[in-house]
């Protein structure tokens, strides 16, 4: 079984946990190390199982706790060279493990596939994690879905997927016009509508679980995101994530019967 949990998800910090009975990885470390560890403990997740951190890009809501968490757990922090250079110096891991987007990395029993994406960062990438035939995607901070996103989405059984903003709330809201344009641009973030289209029209037959992630506090609500996905609620198990606390832990696994997916909370 694989355990999945959004430790933090939002513009104030992102961290996504994928683990098994003895080891785990986290994607991004955008809150403090103390917060990450406290939130894991509250969900009965053991931080000592974490064997590596993977950084998607240099923005502070994905890197704030990377340096301290890596040192505290004595684990590698995987980061691309250009992302490392673009990070604030105080957030750079002391002993980084460099990788190039598009490569495969093995950590314990996990295979991590990295791939480039569209976002306004130095060298942004997303990840698909594979364990015992189960594929989990962490797809946030994507301005527009490129072929890389569509390809890796097609493999996923479970997905942390950005649903950052509601179109009406963004354009009618109080953000300055340049920021609105950046968020909605091809290197900004995915809207509820874009996320819905990805799941409805581009996911593979094996996708069963979607965690709506990186919701804006200003330009979205849980209710609006869920309402947009209501049409798909009979086909997929839809979960919400939170910026304020760790989400529920979901346990998933492929049974001996070919392609049969089991999960529990």
Q: What is the mean pLDDT of the chain?
A: 96
The structure's pTM equals 0.95
Tens digits of per-residue pLDDT, 222-250?
999 999 999 999 999 999 999 999 999 99
Contact 117, 126 (CB under 8 A): yes
Looking at the structure, give the CATH architecture of the domain made up of residues 2-264: 4-Layer Sandwich (3.60)
pLDDT band at 258 (very low <50, low <70, confident <90, very high): very low
Q: Does the pLDDT value for residue 264 go beyond 70?
A: no
Contacts (Cβ under 8 Å, ≥6 apart) of 100: 80, 114
Strands 96-98 and 125-131: unpaired
CA distance 179 to 161: 22
Strands 2-8 and 250-254: antiparallel
Contacts (Cβ under 8 Å, ≥6 apart) of 48: 73
Output the six-digit token pair for 167.
């179109």
Q: Does the pLDDT value for residue 262 go beyond 90?
A: no
**How much is the pLDDT for 261?**
63
Tens digits of per-residue pLDDT, 192-232?
999 999 999 999 999 999 999 999 999 999 999 999 999 99
Strands 110-116 and 125-131: antiparallel
Q: Does the pLDDT value for residue 182 go beyond 50?
A: yes
Calculate ∠ Cα 187-122-180, nearest 5°. 30
């Amino acid at each position: 079984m694989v355990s999945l949990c959004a430790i933090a998800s939002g513009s104030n910090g992102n961290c996504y946990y994928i683990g098994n009975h003895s080891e785990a990885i986290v994607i991004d470390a955008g809150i403090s190390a103390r917060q990450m560890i406290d939130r894991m403990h509250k969900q009965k997740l053991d931080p000592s199982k974490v064997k590596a951190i993977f950084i998607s890009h240099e923005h502070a809501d994905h890197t704030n706790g990377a340096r301290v968490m890596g040192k505290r757990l004595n684990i590698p922090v995987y980061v691309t060279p250009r992302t490392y250079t673009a990070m604030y110096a105080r957030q750079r891991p002391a002993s980084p493990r460099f990788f190039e987007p598009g490569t495969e990395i093995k950590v314990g029993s996990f295979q991590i596939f990295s791939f480039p994406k569209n976002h306004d960062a130095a060298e942004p990438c997303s990840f698909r994690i594979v364990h015992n035939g189960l594929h989990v995607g962490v797809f946030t901070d994507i301005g527009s879905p490129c072929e890389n996103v569509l390809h890796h989405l097609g493999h996923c059984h479970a997905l942390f997927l950005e649903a950052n903003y509601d179109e009406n709330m963004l354009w009618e809201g109080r953000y300055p016009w340049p920021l609105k344009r950046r968020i909605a641009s091809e290197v900004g973030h995915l809207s509820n509508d874009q996320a819905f289209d990805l799941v409805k029209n581009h996911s593979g037959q094996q996708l069963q679980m979607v965690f709506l992630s990186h919701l804006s506090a200003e330009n979205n609500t849980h209710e609006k995101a869920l309402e947009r996905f209501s049409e798909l609620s009979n086909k997929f198990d839809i979960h919400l994530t939170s910026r304020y606390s760790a989400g529920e832990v979901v346990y998933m696994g492929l049974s001996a019967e070919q392609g049969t997916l089991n999960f529990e909370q």
